[in-house]
Structure 1
Amino acid sequence: MPSAIELVLTRLAPALPSWRSVAGTNLAFGSIVDPESGTGRILCVVGAKTQALNNLEIVTGTGLGGRALALSRPTSVARYESARGITHHYDHAVRSENLVTAAAVPIVVDGRPRAVVYLCSTAELSLGDRWFDALDPLRRRLQHEILVEDAVHARLAQMATQVPPQSGPGAAELAAVVRELGDLSEELADPAVAARLELIRQRLGGGPSVRRGAVLPDGTQLTRREMQVLVEAARGHTNRQIAEHLGLLPNTVKSYLQDLMRKLGCANRVQAIAYARDAGWIG
């Protein structure tokens, strides 16, 4: 079972190139917070020219990232070395990379800081609200992925330590576990762990999952993302709310809805939701 730090690292490291691209900065790196000590450590870096940042320990309240941790909100400085609102414990690493403008975005899950994403440039940049708004879908997506991973591994750990009664679990309890495993495997970003969960679910009598891409009578299949959008729509969420929950843009959500309605032969989302409910794809 991975540690809390390893769990976050597996989600954060692959996401850094996207953060760097959207931000338009030279450098992106991530500090992962130890849940016991509350101290961060830089464990993944994209775009660095030296090793100065690697494994750097970040104490809450110190430097830009430490300030973001203390405040639990994004913070930035136009010129790092002359900035007065932060301490300068890490200037040696900043100088090694010739960094000028820097921003730090904390990743907070269930009220606890789990990581900080740093975005830095070797030239002075103006970082306004629009710049931070463009990063928000990435932040929401990462927080959601970590939340799901937490739930999956907590459930697996619980199942591993539970001693079943001699008579075995009741039918209702077993059915509830099967449903929960199915829901978790659909949410999980890691395909390997998702596959393991699906096998466990089937061994418990769940049968093949119907939600991993709903299939129509003519063989047309809804993608996993289309199903996620449809489920959110069935909950009464607007396109903007769906976009926020799934880490997408509203126009992208609109495109997914149009595609799935075309596949289902439905004129609007109400008909699509009714079709999916009648087919047993959603509750």
Structure 2
Amino acid sequence: MLVSLPPNGGVRLGRRRGEGGRVATDVVEIRNALGRMRRTTGLPVAFGGLVESGRRQVRISELSGTATGALSALAVTSGNGLGGKAIALTRPCAVTDYSASRQISHEYDRPVAAEGLRSVLAVPVVVRRRVRGVLYGALRAAHPLGDRTLSAAVDAARDVAEALLLREEAGELLAAARPEPAREPADAPAWERVREAHAALRALAPRIEDAALRDELLRACGLLAAGHGEGPGVRLAPREVDVLACVAAGATNAMAAEKLGVGPETVKGYLRSAMRKLGAATRGEAVVAARRAGRLP
């Protein structure tokens, strides 16, 4: 029997995808997700890997709970086997008895049998409508995999997708934020793009778990704002700058709260504190004062 979740049950994050990537870090995300999936599902075996660059196939690189190396480095092509079907459909699939299933092709029966796997699920990691990897979970007995198990596997894949998306967005914003030699302060459209990038970077940085990448983002923010102040600097807390950057980009308190992952009342508190430090009576005055102080571009 083949179980396919509906299209909206897949792990999808729908924004444009950049070409940058950190393969080693992405592999770590896969590895950690497999461990979480085994803990939450109780499945004894989990394995997975990333889609190889420029190809429609996943290379199995991470194994957890396996007894042999039969699945190591296995290349799973789109459309072939259970994982290939999940890639082609971009949604999770599961079989109760892998070798006997009539719903999948059987190019990989030998390594699957060598590991003694029967019931298997495969969940694609989909970022910006492209499959970036696949997570597998398996039993060594032909027992149906329930909805809770499938849902937990989908959650693990979603965690990977979110981490990859954050990293890609961070890389794109860093690239957009790098100063261009020909850019002049009088170029209003260019400066608006700089300010938008600054606000996006400030909102994104707290969500990045990679400390080195987070520090790089914050350094980029500092470079964007530095050198444009006309008055003495003002000591603002990081979150006060985050809120002001959102306000400068035209966000309401509710919009800023959503971007920063905090409550609207928290945003109001940071904004009031920043306005007091800047001697501003309105949101607009606070933004102007922060720019003059060199805290915003």
Structure 2 gap segments, 5+ residues each: 1-18, 227-235, 244-252, 273-282, 284-297
Q: Which one is further off, 140-149 or 175-184?
A: 175-184
Shift of 1:177: 3.1
Q: How many residues align?
A: 232
Secondary structure of the structure 2 residue equivalent to 1:48: coil
Q: Does 1:177 align with 2:191?
A: no
Q: Does 1:209 align with 2:238?
A: yes
Question: Identical aligned pairs, as a percentage?
Answer: 27
Letter in 1 for 2:238: S
Which residue number in structure 1 is paired with residue 39 of structure 2? 21
CA change 1:35–1:83 in 2 (3 A) is same
Which residue number in structure 2 is paired with residue 122 of structure 1? 140
Shift of 1:155: 2.7
For the Cα contact (< 8 Å) 1:61–1:67, is it kept in 2?
Answer: yes
Q: Deviations over 1:140-199 (max 9, x none)?
A: 322222111111122334456x74316467654443332222122122232221122112
Shift of 1:62: 0.6
1:101 is aligned, of 119, 144, 168, to 119
2:108 is aligned, of 71, 90, 94, to 90
Higher RCO, Cα 8 Å, sep 6+: 2
Partner Cα distance (2:115, 2:241) in 1? 45
Shift of 1:15: 1.9
RMSD, matched Cα: 3.3
For the Cα contact (< 8 Å) 1:31–1:58, is it kept in 2?
Answer: no
Which residue number in structure 2 is paired with residue 31 of structure 1? 49
Q: Does 1:156 align with 2:156?
A: no
2:264 is aligned, of 267, 273, 276, to 273
Which residue number in structure 2 is paired with residue 193 of structure 1? 213
CA change 1:73–1:275 in 2 (3 A) is closer
For the Cα contact (< 8 Å) 2:44–2:65, is it kept in 1?
Answer: yes
Which residue number in structure 2 is paired with residue 140 of structure 1? 158
Shift of 1:87: 1.3
CA change 1:183–1:31 in 2 (3 A) is same
For the Cα contact (< 8 Å) 1:107–1:117, is it kept in 2?
Answer: yes
CA change 1:94–1:213 in 2 (3 A) is farther
Partner Cα distance (2:240, 2:256) in 1? 16
Letter in 2 for 1:185: A
Partner Cα distance (2:129, 2:89) in 1? 12
Letter in 2 for 1:16: L
Letter in 2 for 1:92: R
Structure 1 gap segments, 5+ residues each: 215-229, 236-245, 247-259, 261-271
Give the greater-gyration-radius structure (CA): 2
CA change 1:111–1:198 in 2 (3 A) is same
Partner Cα distance (2:62, 2:20) in 1? 17
Shift of 1:104: 0.3
TM, length-normalised to structure 1: 0.70
Secondary structure of the structure 2 residue equivalent to 1:116: strand
Letter in 2 for 1:102: V
CA change 1:148–1:275 in 2 (3 A) is closer
